[in-house]
Amino acid sequence: MMASALAHSAARGAFFTLSAQAARIVLQLLSVVILSRLLSPHDYGLLAIALVVVGLGEIFRDFGLTSASIQAPELSTGERDNLFWVNAAIGVVLTAITFVLAWPVAAISQLGDLQGIVQWLSLIFLLNGVATQHRANLMRDLKLRALAIVDVTSSAIALAAAVAAALLGAGFWALVVQQLTTGTAILVGVLIAGRWFPRWYSRAVPIRAFLTFGSHLVGANLLAYVGRQIDTVTIAIRFGTQPLGLYNRGFQLIMTPLGQVRSPLQSVALPVLSRVQADQRRFDTYVIAAQLALGYTIGIPLAIVAGLADPIVGIMLGARWAETAPLISMFAIAGLLTTVSFVGYWIYLARGLGAELLRYTIVTTVIKIVCIVVGSFFGLFGVAVAFAVHPAIAWPISLAWLSRVTPIPHRKLYQGAGRIIATTLASGLASLGIAHLTASAPDGVQLLLGLGGGVVIAAAFLVLPVYRRDASSLLAFVRLMVKRQPQ
């Protein structure tokens, strides 16, 4: 009965999370369509450089304590209070440090506008530091409906604020307004939804175990962050803000919506996997199901996007962004490959394997840096190709690494991934072929025909029994998602 209730909670949580992320993706696409026409590639290039600094600080601001508090089998009121004050204090310190660092960042980059951008964005650390444990508490208690409402509302308010600022001629400051409005709205939202007010820090309540786990996760996330930003830094140094703006728009068009689906699902997967980690059979079942759900539902759309990059850019961004199309294809392929392997990251967190995750991340970060640097010798597109090659190398390493440190159903994960890749490859090639055959048609016609062709080819795989079994498993999960909890 408990297993059934947990499965139902996980499914309903996934339903609310996916619904919220669908709404956020729509808002993100609206942001791309509207702001790309009001702002220039240079504006986005400036923000991309500033967010390198902010993103680095965000790793230290969280200090891995969100995952540490969710993963813990038990969390007392005193521990939660102390974790809040640690995150809040780190946020204050990072705000001050980043504010001061804005001067050397602007001087080194020789972009004077960066000083003000970075200084204003430093306030994000303060906002997020106060919100961290309130958000983690909602995730731990699987109050994902409230969290979904907060995320969607904050995105909508931030988009409205950014568009208003852009229309008033604010330029790149419109993007700063969007970031700060998001942080403020999320803080207010989680405070209202959580209805929890921390008590003062107590030295009588130890949190060393949380800090130890968090420190390992910080190390892993820091290395992963270096890997994520190496392309931005390389392009900024070698090619300048204009090409960086093109690259950043393509990246944001694909990877931001993808992150808005995958990462929030961690708020469902992590507490659920943590609760069943002692039951190996159930744990394996959930992991396999998660990979299939992510792979098919996200992978097939990504493959179709890779094939239809040209009409998508024409519709979404406009003619002056045409050079972004081949980059988008590479980002979609990279997104597909990272999605197939994403459950591995969840296993590390659910099992509390912070030290092992750090060691694995060291290896894969070095691989990514090498790929990006080599790719940069072949121009902007070479960097995008390298971005897609890296996960193809890292994924088998991830499964091999995990199988050495913890029991995982590695054979079934390989088999499931193989089926996902076969389906998505065929679907993507069908969309690409249709796009080429209808190249003289309007972008909208190409998009509709290519989308239909890709979906039909993906559906054709259902003639095979193994794919029908996968579909049945996914449909059973969908039924749990829409079914109300029995009273």
Q: Which residues contact 114 (CB under 8 A, 6 or more apart)?
A: 46, 49, 50, 102, 105, 106
Do 322 and 430 share a structural domain? yes
Q: How far apart are CA 169 and CA 230, in angstroms?
A: 32
Beta strand extents in 355-484 (DSSP E only): none
In a domain, 305, yes or no: yes
Do 322 and 200 share a structural domain? no
Contact call for residues 423 and 467 (beta carbons, < 8 A): yes
In a domain, 340, yes or no: yes
Record the pTM.
0.63
Do 335 and 246 share a structural domain? yes
Do 200 and 262 share a structural domain? no
In a domain, 477, yes or no: yes
Place of tokens 């990462």: 263
Do 277 and 188 share a structural domain? no
> Domain span at residue 169?
39-205
Q: Which two tokens stand for residue 308?
A: 């239809």
Do 266 and 332 share a structural domain? yes
Q: How far apart are CA 62 and CA 232, in angstroms?
A: 23
In a domain, 33, yes or no: no
Whole-number Cα distances in Å, 38 to 2, 248, 255, 267, 319: 53, 16, 22, 35, 14
Do 274 and 157 share a structural domain? no
Q: Looking at residue 456, what is its pLDDT? A: 94
Whole-number Cα distances in Å, 98 to 182, 290, 348: 19, 38, 31
Do 43 and 10 share a structural domain? no
> Which among 184, 205, 226 is the end of a domain?
205
User: What are the backbone dihedrals phi and psi of residue 351, each rounded to the nearest 5 degrees, phi first?
Assistant: -85, -5
In a domain, 20, yes or no: no
Q: Which residues contact 418 (CB under 8 A, 6 or more apart)?
A: none
In a domain, 32, yes or no: no
Q: Looking at residue 16, what is its pLDDT? A: 61
Q: Which residue, 306, 311, 337, is CA-closest to 454?
A: 306
Q: How far apart are CA 139 and CA 137, in angstroms?
A: 5
The pLDDT tens digits along the chain (487 residues) read 344 555 555 555 556 666 666 777 777 777 777 887 787 777 877 887 787 777 777 777 777 666 666 666 677 778 778 888 888 888 898 899 989 988 988 888 777 888 888 899 999 889 988 888 888 777 777 677 788 788 888 988 998 998 999 888 888 888 899 989 999 999 999 888 877 788 887 777 777 777 777 677 777 777 777 777 788 888 888 887 778 878 877 887 788 777 766 666 666 666 667 666 777 887 888 788 888 888 888 889 999 999 998 888 888 777 777 788 889 999 999 988 888 888 887 788 777 777 788 788 888 888 988 999 899 898 889 999 998 999 889 888 888 888 888 888 888 888 888 999 999 999 999 999 998 899 888 888 989 999 999 999 999 999 999 998 888 877 776 665 445 544 4
Q: Which residues contact 50 (CB under 8 A, 6 or more apart)?
A: 114, 117, 118, 121
Do 404 and 332 share a structural domain? yes
Q: Which two tokens stand for residue 453?
A: 């062709």
Do 88 and 6 share a structural domain? no
Q: Looking at residue 463, what is its pLDDT? A: 92
Q: How far apart are CA 454 and CA 303, in angstroms?
A: 8
Q: How far apart are CA 236 and CA 45, in angstroms?
A: 8
DSSP assignments along 141-175, one per residue: TT-HHHHHHHHHHHHHHHHHHHHHHHHTT-TTHHH
Q: Which residue, 284, 280, 316, 278, is CA-closest to 411?
A: 284
Q: Which two tokens stand for residue 96?
A: 């001050």
- b/e code 36-57 from CB counts within 10 Å (16+ = b): bebbebbbbbbbbbbbbbbebb
> Which among 205, 228, 256 is the end of a domain?
205
Looking at the structure of the chain, the number of domains it has is 2
Q: How far is CA 110 from the centre of its chain?
A: 31
Half-sphere exposure in the Cβ direction for 277 (13 Å, CA) = 18
Do 175 and 308 share a structural domain? no
In a domain, 8, yes or no: yes
- Please classify residue 359 by burial: count the beta carbons closer than 10 Å to its beta carbon, then call 0-12 exposed, 13-18 middle and 19+ buried: middle
Do 197 and 268 share a structural domain? no
Contact call for residues 384 and 326 (beta carbons, < 8 A): yes
Q: Looking at residue 180, what is its pLDDT? A: 93
Q: How far apart are CA 272 and CA 81, in angstroms?
A: 23
> Which among 189, 205, 221 is the end of a domain?
205
In a domain, 23, yes or no: no
Q: Which residue, 145, 156, 140, 149, is CA-closest to 196?
A: 140
